[in-house]
Amino acid sequence: MASLGPAAAGEQAPGAEAEPGPAGPPPPPSPSSLGPLLPLQREPLYNWQATKASLKERFAFLFNSELLSDVRFVLGKGRGAATAGGPQRIPAHRFVLAAGSAVFDAMFNGGMATTSAEIELPDVEPAAFLALLRFLYSDEVQIGPETVMTTLYTAKKYAVPALEAHCVEFLTKHLRADNAFMLLTQARLFDEPQLASLCLDTIDKSTMDAISAEGFTDIDIDTLCAVLERDTLSIRESRLFGAVVRWAEAECQRQQLPVTFGNKQKVLGKALSLIRFPLMTIEEFAAGPAQSGILSDREVVNLFLHFTVNPKPRVEYIDRPRCCLRGKECCINRFQQVESRWGYSGTSDRIRFTVNRRISIVGFGLYGSIHGPTDYQVNIQIIEYEKKQTLGQNDTGFSCDGTANTFRVMFKEPIEIQPNVCYTACATLKEREDQK
């Protein structure tokens, strides 16, 4: 047993005589008589390992603890990462971090490994970094609406895909029409195609609610174009145009430009060509785009001609209808085959029909000339028979190739058909041609 000094307390050194003196406890040994000083262990930490039943519990105990730590991270010093009270120092353990992240492994053990005891992370939020460490130490996920995006950024930065997946799952569960554009921007920024696709689906289903939210005017031009290119938006084109003008005004302010017609046209750039003006009614076009100042006089005239004359002049804008339907598109044929033809007399061809469940009609399949390729101008309508009410129509055109096939002619918007109600499908071709 190691002694405390030349003579243990209460013992007499060999060969020495005891000096007389008063009875009582011996004096404490002098500092010079003590061995090396050992660090004091606080009572709660003594034998802490025995209180943890699993490896997960032991490592979770070390999370954000100075105990056995061999590195510190300094956060809150960078731009945009400032915290109340100044920089925050977070202790960690190199082994745990290297075992959970290839980035940390390279940082501590790679060819250019750091030996510094403190590492500054100016671009990482403390709350997000703690969420990352908590996951690496214990597999626990603690994210919320205020921290999920910064945690996703941190998980990507340090290559922890499992935490990335938890962040994306959290965002997916909280995806709504009013935050779809904000999340779409972040999904494109962080290269999360699955989340971006879900955001676009939400925008398709609830387009009006999505573009009315504050986040719509904050998106970048590329995100705006990605949305305008879609064929599946459920909104009238005139309302979509109004939202795009609102975005252009906000973008002018972001770029510190006067909100003028010319500057709105400038910031819209290629997005303007993605608005489908031909899908509007002439009244919608006259009340909105024609007076907006964003289109040139020549473009306004050409579009008015497109609305009013036949044959319609070509315009620079897409006239393909946006179809907001979900599910499978079905083609219903009245006849299995056609063995004869009829001459076109200038009157409308009509079919009266009913259905036994609610459907939406997106267009007709029309027969064309048997004498070779021909271009047609055509008016198509759906009429509710009893009320004599036109539910939808489109003045458009199509080209046939002289075969017995039918050719797709689409409505501007899907027309909802109710069960057990009588409707009339009507098609009127504008030219006299022999028809199949």
C-alpha of 131 from chain center: 22
Say if pTM beats, i.e. exceeds, 0.75. no
Domain range 177-308, CATH architecture: Alpha Horseshoe (1.25)
Average pLDDT on 177-202 reads 94
C-alpha span between 232 and 351 (Å, rounded): 28
Question: 367 pLDDT band (50/70/90 cuts)?
Answer: confident
* CA angle, 63 then 66 then 69, to 5°: 80
Range 155-177 average pLDDT: 95
Longest Cα pair distance anywhere in the chain, in angstroms?
143
Q: Which two tokens mark 397?
A: 């055109």
Query: Residues 274-308: pLDDT tens digits?
Result: 999 998 888 899 999 999 999 999 999 999 998 88
pLDDT tens across 407-428, in order? 888 887 778 888 999 999 999 9
* Sole residue written with tokens 């000096």: 19
Q: What confidence category does residue 404 fall into, taking pLDDT thresholds of 50, 70 and 90? A: confident
Alpha-carbon torsion, ordered 106, 111, 117, 118, to 10 deg? -60
**Fold match between domain 48-173 and domain 177-308:** no
What are the backbone angles phi and psi of residue 193, rounded to the nearest 5°?
Answer: -60, -35
Would you give the DSSP letter of residue 322?
P
Average pLDDT over the chain reads 84
Question: How many Å apart are CA 370 and CA 97, to the nearest integer?
Answer: 74
331-367 residues labelled b (16+ CB within 10 A) or e (exposed): eeeeeeeeeeeeebeeeebeeeeeeeeebebbbbebb
CATH of domain 342-435: 2.60.120.820
- Of 369, 278, 348, which Cα lies nearest the Cα of 318? 278
> Given phi > 0 = left and psi -120 to 50 = alpha, else beta, which region is 61?
alpha
Is the pLDDT score of 218 beyond 90?
yes
Whether residue 62 has pLDDT greater than 50? yes
Domain ranges (residues) in the chain: 48-173, 177-308, 342-435
Work out the burial of residue 187: count CB atoms within 10 Å of its CB; fewer than 13 is exposed, 13-18 middle, 19 or more buried.
Answer: buried
* pLDDT at residue 31 is higher than 60: no
Whole-number Å distance between alpha carbons of 121 and 92: 14
Q: What is the pLDDT of residue 13?
A: 41
Of 398 and 159, which is predicted with more confidence? 159
Class of domain 48-173: alpha beta
Q: How far apart are CA 138 and CA 131, in angstroms?
A: 11
Place of tokens 């017995």: 404
Q: Mean pLDDT, to the nearest integer, of 372-394?
A: 89
pLDDT on residue 85: 59
Cβ-based neighbours of 291, under 8 Å, separated by 6 or more:
none
C-alpha distances (whole Å) from 97 to each of 106, 133, 172 are 10, 8, 28
